[in-house]
Structure 1
Amino acid sequence: MNTMIIKNARIVTATEEFTGSMVVEGGIIRQMDRGETSALGAEDWQGDWLLPGLVELHTDNLEKHLVPRPGVLWNAHSATVMHDALCAAAGITTVLDSVVIGDMDQGGTRSQTQHVSIEALHECREEGLLRVEHLLHLRCEVSAPDIVEVFEQYADDSLLELVSVMDHTPGQRQWRDLAKYRRYAERYGSFNEAEYEAMIAERRTHQEQYATPNRAAVIAGSLARDLPVASHDDTEIEHVEQATAEGIAISEFPTTVAAAKAARAAGMGIVMGSPNLVKGGSHSGNVSAAELAQLDLLDIFSSDYVPASLLQSAFLLRTVAGWSLPKAVATVTRNPTRAIGLMDRGELAPGLRADLIRVRMSGGMPIVRACWHKGERAF
């Protein structure tokens, strides 16, 4: 049975930070102690931080590897392995790959990648090609005509751990500002005025026809399978009230302070994007993660589209919001695991899985020097 002994590490638990030692055996944390150790063969970490492996509930990073340029579809196995390596280098040891199902752009990129990405995820796991643990998060576009059909295809997938319901129809939620929406929609090419108006009209028509029944079907199917559900881009208090009435326990990327306050009052877990904090604001003009953190209206960070931002955001919370390091680290470790019921990881404690990262500050940024998954070196 493999044994690893670490000494002189700044250990960050769920409640405190101290310099001490750790013993890992058989992929499990067996012992933690304060101060020095005289154990033979102990590795001296020279005061580097010892943190739990990071936990990612929602990342679009795989999609960036699947579609590296507009119109270019990359081999799904290659994309999955490279995405996995980047997660390990960022200190992420549990990652829920978020796959969008229900494509608002019929025949668009996501409709071409949704099936191959899930298939590749399974095959890469089975072949032992992945450094860290990859699970599945289905992001369900409720205004898409085909969403219920595709959801039912994957609702019993063995890797599925989270479902989110979202509606990106222009003019509401994330895209209240139509000018910002147009800039986003034209990132791969411009529309003339007639094309743009026709696209807006079509998406609003689909919302009127499909959003309500599709949302109800996806939520009912998820809860019947005991799958946690997140409501995406809550903006109005009414959005949160609807979500809680539906049995949803996670508010993912609320766009306003009012929605976040309503989510907190309802006991929902509040998820924000870590790039929002690192970059100083939302790219779509919504509420800043810093403001929510300062109001203590933030529980979980997601790296969204930049894996390295997850660790950065935890350390930034100390200066931006005055949080202790244990409280800040919990947003990227313990809190996300508890939100989806993974109780064997997410913090440093005897008996839990040895998902660990070694971190040192360089140039004012936390840098992952090494990463272990189940006690095995992943980076």
Structure 2
Amino acid sequence: MWRFLARLGHPERRLPPVIHVAGTNGKGSTVAFLRAILEAAGFGVHVYTSPHLVRFNERIRLARPGGGVLVGDDELSDALATCERLNAGDPITFFEITTAAALLLFARHPADVLLLEVGLGGRLDATNVVDRPLATVITSISHDHQEFLGDTIELIATEKAGILKPTVPAIIAPQSPAALAVIQRQAARLCAPLRIGGKHWRATPDRDRMVFRDGNGIMELPAPRLVGRHQLDNAGTAIATLRCLPALQIPNAAFGQGITSVEWPARMQRLVRGRIAVMAPHGAELWLDGGHNPDGGRAVAGALADLDRRDARPLILVVGMLANKDCQGFLMNFAGLASAVIAVPVQQDTALPREEIAQTARRVGIPAETHDSIAEALASIPALGLDPAPRILITGSLYLAGEVLAANGLPSI
């Protein structure tokens, strides 16, 4: 990657100030909160995230007056062609060459801040090429991608902590003791000051509001727009990051405006319009979430339990997953909460067969059936005879979420 960046003229050295974000769950939501707050404060913000849901362009957002825009097809094609030409056929991964193209685009356009999300892990990730970012951020760490990162929390945390830089402040979301111990050791080696969730800062609910506390004081804020208790931690991580960067001078009003205007598709997203939305049974609620690992499932189940306390409805899960995910660990979170699982295929070569998903659901105590598509799954729900009309969640894979958003026919971002 370094040799290739040299061929490109080292775009990683010509970037706006960078906030680098790693973690297992919550990276994308935290980046979304950071962007919304910074743009509410009037900053121009570049953003790099992955994967995309519907179109590759979603990965690259360029700063513009009044709010960023997704990179256009022509400009993206030109950057990719430049990278392909200068790579000259040498071995390179898809993520490396597309990240290089993104860095080239970010270097060409002015912005006040670049939010750079890690693709996988951190230590060896193609985004880990910025010597001195403004800050590094690590969101919640849990088991996922064990085939690349290791099969223990300590090994996974070691990869995530690889983005820490000497003397650069690191903002850490609430973590398990095992993950936190790894991060603290790496930070101590690098003399990187830590701001740890639950120790140096806290984000807690207060009725329909959010209270943020850190060493600079207390802020009472509206509840985040993104649904779920876990989004308090993600919003809190974003707020803690920006409050430890006093040079940015974020006004207090921008924090509230940002967390209530934020958008991030397929994270407990309510679908109320579009071709898929109208297929839901009359009176039913239709939700979409790309959660796909046990901790992600735990967060989504908590959000659904909160919704159920306010408006009790039977819960139906429409689930598609990849074969390398912990299906049982994911579905166990919904035992006692879901009335049924409807397993559907994901249009990927590595998809878990829907029959296996259904068998796993039954093993954890949830009745299950299979259907060939989302449309068939939704059409089958009235036959279950549920009263009141159910709350339906399509979940288990970001790839499935992307298929749903594409079929729904509305912009994903």
TM-score (norm: length of structure 1): 0.33
Tell me which protein shows more strand as a share of its residues.
1
After TM superposition, the score normalised by the length of structure 2 is 0.31
Q: Point out which structure has higher relative CO (alpha carbons under 8 A, 6+ apart).
A: 1
